[in-house]
Amino acid sequence: MFYIIGLGLCDETDVSLRGLKAIKGSTRVYLEAYTSILMIEKEKLEAFYEKELILADRDLVETESDAILANADKEDVSLLVVGDPFGATTHTDIIIRARNLGIPTRVIHNASIMNAVGACGLQLYNFGQTVSLVFFTETWKPDSFYDRIKENADLGLHTLVLLDIKVKEQSEENLARGRKIYEPPRYMSIPQAVNQLIEIEESRQENILSPETTLAVALSRVGGGDENERIVAGTLAELAAHPTEAYGQPLHSLVIVGKRLHPLELEYAETFAINREKFQQVARDVYKCALLG
């Protein structure tokens, strides 16, 4: 059997009992280590699972998956994924490859940012399409995400924006020269993400994202418990100007609030606001959301 097992969002104890049983029964256990990160060291996972973990980078999962799937039709092999297995298209692809090879597959689910985002008080059924925001460069500033945000906005829906991470990435020079030298890990911060969103709005000029009147909620380490989790709400301008350290440690996510904002959502989300009165005013005047009480 080839297992893909979700690990949840926090630490070694988030794995399900079913997932732990599959891990302990596997001959080889791989830890996917590039679409997301856990909040603890690999060694702590190994101690808890009582299994050695093989780190699986992008090359191994996407282009050398035969090594992972080798003999999985004769023995149990597990691929561990932060969050839920279907949080990234990469994992769908490797399941298809396994099935094409006649290998039985089983997916064991867990919490992911796609449902844990509800911690900010915005109701999950009011979310539209999720988008990813990559690091801009001087010559590469893709803006296709803007169209998805616009489609959500036209329906009044919230947009979950997943922020880029760079783990085990090579510089253009090292890549061109074939040198296996990797850049330090980078994680996009909330202020950087907001500034990129505003930059694209200034370029597109379709009045979807207004620094002063678009509400958003920033989240970090959701699912990590009270001591790690941070939620901050405000206008885009407020979030961009807020100190980076106030958002806590990565990983960060951002929710752009849709205009179909329910009063109960407002009542919950405003507790995280940088400026509660301003948050309420924008919600009332721009979003036409009534205040409760």
CATH number at residue 100: 3.40.1010.10
Domain identity same for 51 and 137: no
> Listing from the earlier edge strand, what are the strands of the sheet with 230-235?
131-133, 159-163, 252-256, 215-220, 230-235
Is residue 292 domain-resident?
A: no
pLDDT tens readout for residues 268-287: 999 999 999 999 999 999 99
pTM here? 0.91
- Same structural domain, 177 and 121: yes
Inter-CA distances, 63 with 85, 118, 169, 272, Å:
18, 35, 15, 43
Mean pLDDT of the chain: 91
Mark the ranges of the chain whose per-residue pLDDT is less than 70.
34-35, 168-177, 181-182, 225-226, 293
94 and 236, same domain (yes or no): no
- The annotation status of 78 as a binding-site residue, yes or no, is no
Flag whether 112 is marked binding.
yes
Q: What is the predicted pLDDT for the residue at 177?
A: 66
Residues 166 and 84 placed together within one structural domain of the fold: no
Beta bridge partners of 165: 187
- The answer to whether 87 is a known ligand-binding residue is yes
Ligand-binding annotation for 222, yes or no, is: yes
Whether 293 is in a domain gets the answer no
Predicted local confidence at residue 44, as pLDDT: 92
* Residues contacting residue 228 through CB under 8 Å, at least 6 positions apart: 10, 39, 221, 248, 249
Instruction: For residue 252, say whether it is annotated as part of any ligand binding site.
Output: yes
Task: Determine the pLDDT at residue 199.
Answer: 97
> Is 9 one of the annotated binding-site residues?
yes
Structural domain ending residue among the three candidates 53, 85, 111: 111
Output the domain CATH number for residue 219.
3.30.950.10
Is 84 annotated as contributing to ligand binding?
yes
Q: Say what the pLDDT of residue 97 is.
A: 92
Q: What is the pLDDT of residue 291?
A: 81
Taking the C-alpha atoms of residue 95 and residue 48, their distance in angstroms, rounded to an integer, is 26
State which amino acid sits at residue 113.
I
Q: Are residues 124 and 19 in the same domain?
A: no
Domain that holds residue 96: 2-111
